[in-house]
Amino acid sequence: MQDALISPITKPTKKPPPPSTAKPPQRIKAKKLSRKKRLQNLERQVYDLEGVLTRAQRSRTTLLPWEEIALAFKEDTLNQVRDHRSLKRQLQRQEHVNLVLQTWVTAMLLPPQVRRTLNPHAATWRHSHLIQGDDDIRRTAQLWIMQHSYHSTDRAMSRHSFPDSMESLVEVNVAVDDDGGGGLFRVDCMVQYTVALPLQEASDVYWLAENSFTSYRQDAPTFFEDHHAVQHAALRYDRQVMSVHMAKQNIRSHSLHGQFRTPSRTTVVCRTILHDEAFPEEDAAAWVLDAHLWYSKE
């Protein structure tokens, strides 16, 4: 028979209480604190980014963004390409002009056997031949003819004896050449006179009168509108056909006028163009006025 031993301090056990559904307050507090901390971190990041943006905006004058640098290089490259193409076109243009003018100048040279017997400084019919071409080529040819006449000024005036005094003088010499049967005549005229004007003003007045007399007689308004351009031009090419009603004869005059100025002297030269490739002669019976004029103002 077994005896049951009962401890005097042993109490009967109770049933455990059911689990509670409420969340621990410690965990809720921890979650609330973590959300606030994240907001603070975000605010701190925003503040830092604003500082970075401010520093970047302040340093834009010294350090450009890569996009702007690349765009600047692109624009510079395009400008260089355009300049290169423009220079290439100019080079091709100058090569063409050089070829045309070289052919023209070579054709104007006299043969060697003739060159030995003639005065190399004397003008011939070849010097009054104007080539056909565009405006630049013809302008260069006209300047070449005027330069030739300008450098012949002293030679042309050395044929006459101008007085040392300031008195006015006019001498005219007419020579008729009937040997060729063409009834050619030559008129040499020497004129000297003085005007009470400074050299600059006298040069302007004479150049304006020389190049606008015909247009003034024909149309006065046109003269007054164009006188400023005429005064500041250094080269003019005029083509005129004058009619002599009593003789029923046309006189053709195609002439170049050039002006060359130095501080102490102004020279105006005029040269008749006997043959112009751009404007062929239509009236074979028209007379040709072949004139060589030199005006020196000192």
Beta carbons within 8 Å of 269's beta carbon, 6+ residues apart: 146, 149, 150, 153, 257, 258, 260, 293, 294, 295
C-alpha distances in angstroms, 159 versus 12, 127, 156, 188, 258?
A: 161, 20, 6, 10, 22
Which tokens sit at 240? 């005129």
Kindly tell me if the per-residue pLDDT of 157 is higher than 80: yes
Closest-CA residue to 257 (of 154, 106, 150, 176): 150
Residue pair 242/216 in contact by the 8 Å Cβ criterion:
no
CA dist 290 and 272 (Å) reads 5
More confidently predicted of 121 and 198: 198
Bridge partners, residue 276, by sequence: 130
**pLDDT category, 289, cuts 50, 70, 90?**
confident
Please state the rounded mean pLDDT for residues 170-181. 75
**pLDDT category, 86, cuts 50, 70, 90?**
very high
Please state the rounded mean pLDDT for residues 48-70. 76
Degrees, nearest 5: CA angle 166-174-177? 150
Instruction: For 213-260, write each residue's pLDDT tens digit.
Output: 655 555 544 444 444 444 557 888 888 777 766 667 788 878 888 999
DSSP result, 235-296: EEEEEEEEEETTTTEEEEEEEEEEEEEETTEEEEEEEE-SEETTS--S-TT-EE---EEEEE
Q: Where are the domains of the chain?
A: 34-60, 145-297
Q: Which residue has the tokens 């250094």?
A: 234
Q: How many CB atoms lie within 10 A of CB 26?
A: 7
Instruction: For 99-137, write each residue's pLDDT tens digit.
Output: 888 887 777 666 665 555 555 555 555 567 888 888 888
**pLDDT category, 194, cuts 50, 70, 90?**
confident
Q: With 0-12 CB in 10 A as exposed, 13-18 as middle and 19+ as buried, what is 216?
A: middle
CA dist 151 and 149 (Å) reads 6
More confidently predicted of 238 and 63: 238
Strands annotated E in the chain:
129-130, 169-177, 184-192, 235-244, 249-262, 265-272, 275-276, 287-288, 292-297
CA dist 32 and 13 (Å) reads 40
C-alpha distances in angstroms, 182 versus 173, 187, 292?
A: 20, 16, 20
Closest-CA residue to 285 (of 185, 175, 182, 186): 182
